Amino acid sequence: MDATSFYRIALDVMGGDHAPYATLDGACLALTNHPELFLVLVGDEAKLLPLLKHHGLVGELSSRMEIVHAPTVVTMEDKPTSVLKDKKDSSIRIATQLVREGKADGVVSMGNTGAAMVASVVVLGTLDGVYRPCLAGVIPNMKSCPTVLLDVGANVDSKPEHVAQFALMGAIYAEEVLGVARPRIGLLSVGEEDSKGNETTRAAAAILREIEINFGGNAEGRDIWNGNFDVVACDGFVGNVVLKSSEALAEGIVRGLRDSINQSLRAKIGGLLAKSAMKRFMKKLDYAEYGGAPLLGVKGVSIIGHGRSDGRAVANAIRAALRACEHKVNEHIQESIHRMLPASTTGSDIR
């Protein structure tokens, strides 16, 4: 394979609760699965070098990777804006900088979500015509394909035209990266009828009805889980609250069931017999399957994974970045945005 045909993904090796071990495991898995991948591992070189062999990053795999040194790390306690101030030499900032400089096609981080967003928005900049970049949650539902819920936290107080663009960008991600043909778009609201909603959703619906997309009208809270819509668009305040609440609820149910089962011997034996069946279902609900949330609308591919990601989740996030590059997601977003915008308003306009 010609060197120029590789896709170069910059991985923030130091980001995440289990970094650098989980990120290095993920790097090995991703390089093994994707011969078209070249990985740029960004992190503390002195710490990383002794670990490579143990994580299988040797032989052919190591010929498709390089290390770029970054002396500091943004921790979960650091403010998101630290990447613009005292943590300019952090792994997430330097990894993002590589995309900006054309030395990588995409960046993947499992670190501080806010910092990763700030780095991507400020360093990469916003695609021409995109009002506001947004974070897309790729959420397992009760059917086989995930629901793309967006925005889940990049923006609050979104205007109707922002939410309409989120829907558009989410649909392109669902189609190109998740392989959903003609994704069905819903607008998160408090009832199915067009009249239900708040000022923002009613105005956003009016915009979406005018655009040539598969717009299915209002989605309700339950539609995030039942698979009735492939893409569900909302303001980032609402999306963030729903995402965090759902994660806590699902974890609480699983933990509560386990604790209750462990209280009697009879139930414990039952639990052991049913364990693999229960695990099979829980795997369906595992966010790690889809590997992280894309930040859509920035100039370059940026995937932000869950802090708790293990090696498989990291590899899946890298795969998502790779697919977004291969399928030229940003070019498609750019085209759609230009088709959507009235001629007078093209040009970047971050309101």
Residues within the interface to a second copy (CB under 8 A): 142, 153, 156-157, 188-190, 197-199, 201, 220-226, 234, 236-238, 240-250, 252-257, 259-261, 263-264, 266-278, 280-281, 284-285
Residues in contact with 340: Cβ distance below 8 Å, sequence separation at least 6, in sequence order: 164, 165, 168, 211
How far apart are CB 220 and a second copy at their closest, in Å?
A: 5
How far apart are CB 149 and a second copy at their closest, in Å?
A: 10
Closest to a second copy by CB, 56 or 80: 80
CB 108 within 8 A of CB 132: no
E strand or H helix that includes residue 96 = helix 91-100
Q: For residue 75, count CB atoms less than 10 angstroms from its CB and return exposed for 0-12, middle for 13-18, buried for 19 or more.
A: middle
CB 174 within 8 A of CB 157: no
Closest to a second copy by CB, 106 or 160: 160
How far apart are CB 267 and a second copy at their closest, in Å?
A: 4
Closest to a second copy by CB, 54 or 284: 284
How far apart are CB 241 and a second copy at their closest, in Å?
A: 4
State the alpha helices, DSSP H only, in 262-328: 265-284, 311-326
Closest to a second copy by CB, 179 or 252: 252
Closest to a second copy by CB, 242 or 337: 242
How far apart are CB 227 and a second copy at their closest, in Å?
A: 10
How far apart are CB 191 and a second copy at their closest, in Å?
A: 8
3-class SS of residue 331: helix
Distances (CA, A) of 229 to 16, 182, 283, 340: 31, 11, 21, 21
Closest to a second copy by CB, 32 or 260: 260
- Other CB atoms within a 10 A radius of the CB of residue 154 amount to 28
Sign (positive or negative) of CA dihedral 52, 53, 55, 58: positive
Q: At 39, phi and psi to the nearest 5?
A: -105, 135
> Order of strands across the sheet with 134-139?
65-69, 37-43, 7-12, 106-109, 301-304, 293-296, 134-139, 147-150, 231-233, 185-188, 215-219
How far apart are CB 263 and a second copy at their closest, in Å?
A: 6
Closest to a second copy by CB, 275 or 339: 275
Closest to a second copy by CB, 154 or 324: 154
The candidate with the shortest Cα–Cα distance to 297, out of 117, 156, 130, 99, is 130
How far apart are CB 198 and a second copy at their closest, in Å?
A: 4
